[in-house]
Every structure is written in structure tokens, then in C-alpha cells.
Amino acid sequence: MVETIGIWIAAILTLGIFSFLYKDNPFYKFCESLFVGVSAGYWFATTFWQVMMPKLVDNLAAGRWIYIIGGIFGILMLLRLFPKIGWISRWSLALVVGTTAGLYFTRYLVSNGMVQTENTIMPIFVTGNLPQTIGNLVIVVGTFCGLVYFFFSKEHKGTFGGFAKVGIWFIMVSFGASFGYTVMSRMSLLLGRLDYLFGTWLGLIK
Amino acid sequence: MRKITISLLTIFLLTLFVNISFSQEEPLPPSEVKASDTPNDNGHSITVTWKLSPDDGAGKKNVVAYEILRSDNPEGEFEIRGVAPAGESRFDDKGAKEKTDKNYLPGHKNFYYKVRAKADKTFAESEVSNPAFAYGQWYHTGKTTVLIGVILFSAFALYFINLARKGKKLFVRPLAGIEAVDEAIGRATEMGKPILYIIGLGSADMIATIASFTILSRVAKKTAEYQTPILIPCYDSVVMAVAQETVRAAYLEAGRPDSYKEENIFFVTSMQFAYVAGVNGIMLRERPATNFYLGKFYAESLILAETGSVAGSIQISGTDEIAQIPFFIAATDYTLIGEELYAASAYLGKEPVLLGTLKAQDWGKALVIISLILGALAASFNFQFFLNLFRVQL
Amino acid sequence: MRREVPLAITAIVGFTLIVVYFIPHPPFNHFRNFFEDLFFIVAAFAIWLGCLNLLKVNADRFYFKRKGWPFAIVVWFGFFLMVIVGFWDGRGFMNPGTTFYYLYDILYYPLNATMFSILAFFVASASYRAFRARNKEATMLLVAAMVVMLGRVPFGYYLSSWLPEGWRLGNITDWVMDFPQTAGQRAIMIGIALGIVSSSLRVLLGLERTFASGE
Amino acid sequence: MSFLEKLLAIDRRIIFLFIAIAAALPLFFTVKLHIEVTPIVNNVYNALEALPPGSKVLLSMDYDPGSMPELQPMAESFLRYCFLRDLKVIIIGLWPNGPIQANIALEEVFKDEEVKNRNPQYGIDYVNLGYTVGNEVVVERMGSDIPATFPKDYTGNKTEDLPLMKGVKNYNNIDFVYNLSAGYPGTYEWVIFAVDPYKIKLAAGNTAVQAPLVYPYVQSGQLIGVLGGMKGGAEFEIATGKPAKAVKYMFSQSVTHAVICFFILIGNFAYFATRKKKGS
């Protein structure tokens, strides 16, 4: 019984969101607002039980008082809600920003910069292996020309412009692949919902 | 204890799966067992190396694994620290750094190692190794390449920021999307229709949003000169406030503070699809001649671009959200791809810090490009020494 | 106080984390662990800040009777429903069979999933009405997109089964993904990485205009 | 107004209806399709096959119901595979929805007869450490101390007291990491903050939106392989010999792709044909 009611509620909310496709309407607005509220509530409760309790409350209860610093910084963060003293929240924000900036600085340089460069360096001619030769060539040339395209200190003219042109082709192929994959993703999501409506709710699909 | 159970289990399974001749003969032991501190760590690990048993993969071919044993006394009792599969000749005996941990491995204390070659049911033990102790390093030698990269990049950035601050003109190539701005505004004036500028869904502190403000300032100045209305529906109230400030300043600069209309820069809602519905309504009612989509965009990108395209507007877009760029390219007339958006804002804004770091990024790319050319040559002609320069060892 | 303290905190934390990357020796790793633990707690409060801010905005909307004010009640209702049930269910609130789990299943789950599924419709209509081969680049993009779309589903196999093995749509898609796509993607990746590195550097040196000025 | 112009000016709600039918109709038919396992998915399967029973596998659930049709089948097929192979699974979530999605997947997997016979036990065969806030910093922190990053599991048991977590201190004690990711934080963060600094073995299942972005990591060896979208999930199901949900949807998926391609072609044809006429 409870389960059936649940399925009906879920199905009606699904239809409510779909109604946006016909036009924007109050029923859709209701569903969207409900989602915003429910997801914020979900985050709030989850953060309480799975972060605040084990990381702050339990540590303090166990006598590790140093964690009070985290609590203080956290409460400073909440002061943002009050415009007059909101500036203090920048102290906590500084901690967050500093941590990510410090980590990103080396890590992105290594993983997405240097390691990528290292792995693009490969023999262009692999004797006796034509597909490999072509593959390597494509990767080296593609990466090279793509980077030339994103080089802003020189106008795209002459040979340099030619490289940039080839670069943009590679970039377009990447975007094309991205496009195709995104379409694939969106369609999958629709299938999931339709399966719910026709299968779980109406029971038309086994 | 658990580690040992797993080790034993592994050995058991290896004996099951590895195709070996099940002789009961003892294999020859591994030789030249050496222990030394594991480099580049915090000082709680010792590396053991050995020469493979002659029966590993050759000879009697009956070695299935090596067990590594440790003791703090060469004559004392040795305990198993781990297992390495046959064919391996190195093992890192990693201990814990907390004294309370069962697996604690103290630094600066001598340990001795033995390596056992395991056959099906028997084993052969090597000689005891030299003593070795673990200690922490003050510098991770494997990361020298990274350190050089960090220093080079920072040096470039500081140098160019300094140069820009001194007033030196730094060249940034013209971008098609920005070149088209004047033409697009001219067209709107001719048609007597407004311009729609959308800053996206980002908050005011995102790089893409900031870049969008810089471009907005330029666009607003032009619209002030041409006396064309500019509409800016906003998703975020802080973004709205900054946008109002930006446009007001631009109108003042153009000498037309009187024609600035604050009500044209307004807040719609901060719910993704409700916002889209609102903006679509504006597009269909006002039929703007030109739409700008510059900033942070998510899934709504293609809905906006589609409506604008059907309404027949010229569209100029730009975002650093990679997954959305393809839709912008397919549905709008000009697109600033990722970094081009930042470059455009540095170019228009003339802010020394932004220009300086953009230049540093360019030089970083130049370094990568040069490495690629030299590296490809070195790899093709097999200059190992040269190749090692590019290797990032972590 | 308003400017200097945040800049100092950013610099101290940030540079410590960079130093630890190169120096494995204690005590730097202890500092890193401590800063990261603080980060978690502050980040949790930041999530709460977001939630409370949402409540505040909607309270204002209701109070001042702004456009769509009745929906503010819906937001509040949804929020407190989940929070109260979540607290009531206690630490095991995510276990199958709890009220929280049930509400997640009938509210959060369908709403979130449907919200993103409607994009399929917009993709379809945009492909018909807006995606044009308006220039050489866009043409390449669309051709690549169609190859990938067909090559990545079983349909592509049947469409090209007359071709010799190894040259079918699926194989072509694999090749496109593994080589030209990877190359283009890598160029973008390296460019963005350098962008992130330079913005991190600006933050650490206190040169990031917006952060220093607060908002 | 010519026919082509009329065709172009069609109300988009008609297109909506069209795609809805194209997606829904095939769902009613069961068609056995030929699904090839691509090398990039095969890499993942082979790497998993190489793990000896009893290995500890970390499953990071980094998505929400918004991408559930793509990633939930991957979670289910992976968990089923692990239970049947006797791989020990440690579940975490970098997204707050991850742990509860894991519970939903587990409920589904336990319905399988073979899994029922194995009777996996909480705490011994699998644990769910829940969610913790902090995105990439969580990944980074786990490199030095997993129990400190997740002091309690999702129901409040002390992590160190769980039998499966005995002796698990950091990535050194984890044999394999499998990441199901729908964006940030996800596979990118796992590569940058765990693979490079801590040398873990990583494979991933991604939403199709994200999959192309991680291909450079596969070429460079930072990532063993990736399951891209529902098709990747279907290939993995075929590879493990247990066709399930993702395979079931493949027919519909094929039809919708064909329809979209058709839309792009006809839209462009009509557009350029009418434009040429106007030009002349």
C-alpha cells in the first residue's frame, strides 16, 4: 500500500516536470520548488550526520579540542547571512580557497600538464607497424596544433596560422565526439524515466 | 596477522593458478639481498632488492613467489613482512608512522632482511641483508622536473605582470567573436531592436563570470554610443548588482549617463529551467537583434541558443564549460572556446594581472609545444638521455 | 583586518600544501593533515550556509510577496520535511526501510531524474531547428557527432555490417575516440590546466581581484 | 510559404512528441542486439579479472539520481561482479547521494540468486563509509589516512572496528579503485589527486557527457579504462556475462540516436534549401 502510494506520487511528480515541455505552468513550478527544497534538506541532514557528527562533535567529545578551530571557522562562515558582519566570513573562505589553490597549483600542473606532455612524446615512426605510426602521428600533430590554436601571443597568419587551422579541426572533432556522447547521455536519462512511467507505474513493460 | 593471512592466501592461489611443474625440489635461494631506505618519503619504509633465484622463470622454474622477512637482530627471529610475485626483485616494506599502530616502523633503527624463494611446498632462504634504517627526506628528488615547472611558470607570471604594470603593451591576438561585437551592435541599431546579454548561471566569483563582466563593459559602452537598449536578465542577485554597476560605469564613460536604464538589468529567478523559460519569453517578445551568451553555462545552453536561432538573432557565445561548447558552436554564429573567453577579457580589460598571467600561460604552452617537437624527434631516433629530461617521476 | 587576514590565511595554507608536495619530511605532513581536516569542517558549514541562504531568500520572497511567493512555502516545506525526517531517523537514516529512504525514493529521486531527462527533448528539437553546418568547423563537428552517435550503439553495427571487419562504424568510432579526439581533448586539457595553475598562483599571491575585494 | 519552410517552422512540441514516441515504443520490445565489447571497456574487465579473490576494492559513488539511468546499472553490475568474485568492496561517496544510491543498488543486487547464495555480509564483504564533504580534498586526505577521512561508516559504526577495514590505512592497502562519476568531483579528481601522487589503479564508469573528457588519461595510462554512458555499462554487462538493465535499453538508445541524426540531416537540408531559394 505504502509502496503503491509512493509510486503514484513519484509518477505524478515526473509528469509535473514533463509538463514544462508543453509550457511553463504552476504545476511545474511547484515540482521545481519542491525539488529545490527537498535537495537542500537532503544535503543539510546528510552533512549533519555524516560530517558534523563524526568530524566535529565526536572529535570534541573525545577531547581533541584542536578541532574547535574548525568549528569556529565554520561559524564565521555562517556570519555571511548577516550583511553587516558578513565580511568576517572571508576568513573561512580564505581557508577553503587557500587549500584548493595550494593543491591545484602543483597537481594540475603535474597531472594535466606535465604527464600529458610526457605521454604525447612518442616515436612518430614505428617501423613495421603502420596503424601505430598513424595513431602516434595523429596524437602528436593533433596536440601540437591544438596548442598552437590556443596560443594567443601571435596572430594566426602564415605557417603558424596553418597549424592553428589544423588545430581547430582536431578540436572540432573532439567537440563533435563530446556532442555525440552528450546526446547519448540525455537520451539514456529519458529512457530511464519513460521506463519508470510505463514499467514501474503503469506496469505495461515487463 | 591479517597481512600474513592474505600473503599466505595469495601464495596458495598462485600455486593454484600458475602453471608450474609441481616438483618437491627446493629452489635455489635469491641472492644479493640489499636493504636501504625508501627514497622520497616521510621515513617509515625500507626498500629491499634482490637478485632473482636462478629457478625463477628458468632452471627448475618452480619459484612462485618471494616472501620478505624482517628482524631487528641478524640472529633473531624474522617475521614475514610481505610477498612479491615471482619475477619481482623489489619490495617496499611500508610501515605505519604512528607508534600506536601495530604496523609501526620506527625511523633511524636498524633492521635486517631475508628473502625466501617459495616453491609449491618448500622454500629456500637467502642470506641476511645488510642493516638498513628508514629516515625521512627533506626533498623529494623525483619531483625535480615538477619543481622546475613550478619555478618557470611562476617566474613567467611575475615577469609579465611586472611588465604589464609598467605599461608595456602585451599583444593578444584578435578573436573572431570579439571582432564581431561592433558589427552585431550596428545591426541591432539599424533594425531598431534591443541587445540581449546573458551572463550565465555562474556566481560572481567564477572566472568565466568575471570575464563576462569585462566583455559586458565593452559591449555596454558601444550600446551607449549607438543608443541601443541592452537587456540583461540575471540568475543571481549579486551578479545583477555587479552587472548594473558595470553598465552604469560604461554609459558614464561613453558620456551618456542619462540613457542608462537600470530596469533593463533585472533578476529573473535562480532556478535553472524557470530562468530559461523566463529568458525564452523575453526572446520571443522582444525579438532582440543580437544575443550574447558569455559566462558559465550548463544544460540550458542549447535551449537558449535554439530559441535565439529560431528567432533569427545573431548570436555570440562563450563559456569555459567544455561539455556545453559543442552546442554553442552548432547553434550560434561565433563562439569563444574555453580559454578564448579569458583571453578576450584580458584583451579588452587591460588588467595587468590578467594580461600577465595570460602571457605566462602562453609561454607555458610554448614550452609544451617545443618539448613535443624535440621529444618526438628524440623518441623517433631513440635518444634515451634526452627523453629522460621529459619524464615525470612521481 | 578585512583584507590582510584572509590573504595571510590563504598564503599560509596554500604554500604549506605546496611545500609538502616537495618535502615528505615531518612536520609538514602533519600541518597538511590538520589543514585538510579543518577544510572539511568549514566546507560542511559552507553547505549549511547555502541551505540557510535558500531559506532566507524564500522567506523574503514570501514576506515581501514577490513574484511566485506561494512557491516559497513549497521550498520551505520540502526542506523541513527532509531535515525533520532525517533527524528523526537518526544515524542510520540512509538504511533501506527508513522514512528518509522512502522519501528519497518517492521525492528526490523522481524529481532529480526527470529534471535532467527533459533535456533529451530539447536536444531533439535543437538538432532539428538550430544545429546548422553554418561553417567548416561546425560541419566537421556535426559529422564527427553523427559518426560517434551511430558508431556507439548497436544500430551502427547493423548499418555497417557489409563493410570488412575492422572498418565498421564501431571501429571507426573507436579510432576517432582514441586518436584525433584524444589529441584535441588533450590540447584543451593542457590549456585549461595552465589556466587553473595561473589562477591558483594569483590567489596565493593575493592578486585575485575579486577574492581580495570580498564579494 | 513553401513546404520546406513549413517543415522548418514546425512547432517544437510536435518534435517533443516525436522523440517521446521514438524512445518509448522500443521499450515494449525485447530485441537481442549484437553488442561488441570495445577495448576500452575490456581493459577494465581484464584489470578486474586479474585481482585475486579477497582483494580490497574501493568503489566511489560520485553521482546523483540525475544520472541514475546511466550509472546505476554500472553500480549494480560492478557490485554483483565483486560479490561473485569475492572481492571486498569499500563504498564511499564524494557526492552526498552516493551512499544512498549504493544502498539502492545493493538492494537490487541482493535479489540475484547467485549473490544470495554467496550471502555477502556487511562489515566483512562490503562496507559503506558514507559521504564526506570536501570533494578532491577528500581524495587527497585518504592518501594519508582513510579512517581519519571517514571516522564512522554511514550508520555510525567506528570505521576501524569493521572487520573489512582492519589494516586499511591508506591507498597502499587498497588494490583497486572504481569510480562512478557524473561530473565534479569525479574521475578527474581521482586521477589528479590519487593516481598520480599515490599510484593507485583506477578504472571508471562515467556518464556519456563526461567520458570523452577522460580519454587522454586512458592514453597516458593514468586511467585503466572507462565505461562511457549506458553503452559502456551494457558492454561491461556483456563482458561479465550478466546482461542486465543497460543491455535492455540498447534498442531504444539506438532508435533515438538514429532519430537525432535524421533530425540534424533534415533540418540542415531544409535550412540550406530554403536559404538558397531566398538568395537567388
Q: Are B257 and B224 in contact (CB under 8 A)?
A: no
Query: Helix H segments across chain D?
Result: 3-8, 12-24, 39-49, 68-85, 98-109, 113-118, 136-142, 146-149, 187-190, 196-198, 215-220, 229-239, 245-279
Q: Looking at residues C208-214, what average pLDDT do you find?
A: 53
CB contact, 8 Å: A79 with chain C?
Answer: no
Assess whether pLDDT exceeds 50 at residue B23: no
Q: What percent of chain D has pLDDT over 90?
A: 85
From chain B, the residues in CB contact with D52 under 8 A are 9-10, 13
Q: How confident is the model at residue B169 (pLDDT cuts 50, 70, 90)?
A: confident
Residue B200 forms beta bridges with which residues? B296
- In the prediction, which pLDDT does B3 show? 53
Distance from CA of C4 to the nearest CA of D (A): 25
Q: Quote the mean pLDDT of chain A.
A: 92
Q: Which residue has the higher pLDDT, B112 or B270?
A: B112
Contacts of D34 (CB under 8 A, 6+ apart): C154, C157, C158
CB contact, 8 Å: D263 with chain C?
Answer: yes
CB contact, 8 Å: D254 with chain A?
Answer: no
Chain pair C-D, CB pairs under 8 angstroms:
161
CB contact, 8 Å: A169 with chain D?
Answer: no
- In the prediction, which pLDDT does C4 show? 86
From chain B, the residues in CB contact with A156 under 8 A are 173
CB contact under 8 A, B153 and A123: no
CB contact, 8 Å: C101 with chain D?
Answer: yes
- In the prediction, which pLDDT does B20 show? 44
Q: Looking at residues B205-219, what average pLDDT do you find?
A: 90
- In the prediction, which pLDDT does D117 show? 94
CB contact under 8 A, A118 and B172: no
Nearest to A174 among C102, C188, C203 (CB): C188
Residues of chain B with CATH 3.40.50: 176-350
Chain D stretch 57-76, residues whose beta carbon is closer than 8 A to a beta carbon of chain A: 66-70
CB contact, 8 Å: D199 with chain B?
Answer: yes
> B105-153, pLDDT tens digit by residue?
888 888 999 898 888 778 888 888 888 888 888 788 778 889 999 999 9
CB contact under 8 A, C120 and A187: yes
Nearest residue of A to residue C166, measured between CA atoms:
A131
CB contact under 8 A, D166 and B2: yes
CA dist B163 and D104 (Å) reads: 58
Q: Which residue has the higher pLDDT, C83 or B94?
A: C83
Going by C-alpha positions, the residue among B310, B340, B138 that lies closest to residue A152 is B340
Assess whether pLDDT exceeds 70 at residue B374: yes
- Domains annotated for chain D, with CATH where assigned, are 34-243 (3.40.50)
Peptide bond into C27 cis (omega under 30): yes
Report pTM.
0.90
Residues of chain B with CATH 2.60.40.10: 2-125
| Residue with cell string 546579454 | B197
**Strand order across the B79-85 sheet:** B79-85, B65-71, B112-118, B123-125
Q: Looking at residues C52-73, what average pLDDT do you find?
A: 90
Contacts of B79 (CB under 8 A, 6+ apart): B69, B70, B71
From chain A, the residues in CB contact with D191 under 8 A are 111
Nearest to C197 among B153, B273, B306 (CB): B153
C163 φ, ψ (degrees, to nearest 5): -80, 155
Q: Looking at residues C60-72, what average pLDDT do you find?
A: 89
Q: Are A10 and D90 in contact (CB under 8 A)?
A: no
Q: Looking at residues C54-59, what average pLDDT do you find?
A: 92
Residue-level pLDDT, tens digit, chain A, 206 residues: 889 999 999 999 999 999 999 988 999 999 999 999 999 999 999 999 999 999 999 999 999 899 999 999 999 999 988 888 888 888 998 999 999 999 999 999 999 999 999 999 988 887 788 888 899 999 999 999 999 999 999 999 999 999 999 999 999 999 999 999 999 999 999 999 999 999 999 998 87
Give pLDDT < 50 ranges for chain D: 280
Q: Are A146 and D216 in contact (CB under 8 A)?
A: no
Amino acid at A16: G
CB contact under 8 A, B392 and A114: yes
CB contact under 8 A, D36 and C170: yes
Cell of B288: 532582440
CB contact under 8 A, C24 and B140: yes
- In the prediction, which pLDDT does C138 show? 93
DSSP E strands in chain B: the ranges are 31-37, 45-51, 65-71, 79-85, 90-94, 112-118, 123-125, 195-200, 230-234, 265-267, 290-296, 314-319, 334-337
Q: Using alpha carbons, list the distances in angstroms from residue D1 to D40, D203, D207, D272.
A: 50, 55, 43, 15
CB contact under 8 A, D172 and B3: no
Which stretch of DSSP H or E encloses residue A118?
helix A115-120
Assess whether pLDDT exceeds 60 at residue B18: no
- In the prediction, which pLDDT does A83 show? 83
CA dist B197 and A134 (Å) reads: 45
CB contact, 8 Å: A195 with chain B?
Answer: no
Which letter, b or e, does each residue of D122-135 get, where b requires 16 or more Cβ atoms within 10 Å of its Cβ?
eeebbbbbbbbbbb
CB contact under 8 A, D167 and B3: yes
D contact chains, 3+ CB pairs < 8 A: A, B, C
- In the prediction, which pLDDT does C213 show? 44
Assess whether pLDDT exceeds 50 at residue B22: no
Distance from CA of A190 to the nearest CA of D (A): 8
Q: Which of the four CATH numbers 2.60.40, 3.40.50, 1.10.3470, 3.10.450 does domain B176-350 have?
A: 3.40.50
Q: Are C151 and C170 in contact (CB under 8 A)?
A: yes
| 3-state SS class at B22 | coil
The C-alpha angle with vertex D65 and arms to C91 and D57, in degrees rounded to 5, equals 65
| Percent composition of chain D: helix, strand, coil (DSSP 3-state, to 5) | 60, 15, 30
Which letter, b or e, does each residue of C176-189 get, where b requires 16 or more Cβ atoms within 10 Å of its Cβ?
bbbbbbbbbbbbbb
Distance from CA of A3 to the nearest CA of B (A): 30
Peptide bond into D185 cis (omega under 30): yes
Q: How confident is the model at residue B8 (pLDDT cuts 50, 70, 90)?
A: low
From chain A, the residues in CB contact with C197 under 8 A are 104-105, 108-109, 113
- In the prediction, which pLDDT does C214 show? 43
C134 φ, ψ (degrees, to nearest 5): -75, -20
| A1-10, B19-28, B29-38, B223-232: least confidently modelled range | B19-28
CB contact under 8 A, A114 and B322: no
**Interface mutation target, options C34, C153, C160, C189, chain D, most CBs of D under 10 Å:** C153
A119 φ, ψ (degrees, to nearest 5): -80, -5
In CATH, B2-125 is 2.60.40.10: yes
Going by C-alpha positions, the residue among D231, A183, A185, D233 that lies closest to residue C113 is A185
| Residue with cell string 561548447 | B325
> B39-57, pLDDT tens digit by residue?
888 788 888 888 888 888 7
> What's the ipTM?
0.90
Nearest residue of A to residue D66, measured between CA atoms:
A189
CB contact, 8 Å: C123 with chain D?
Answer: yes
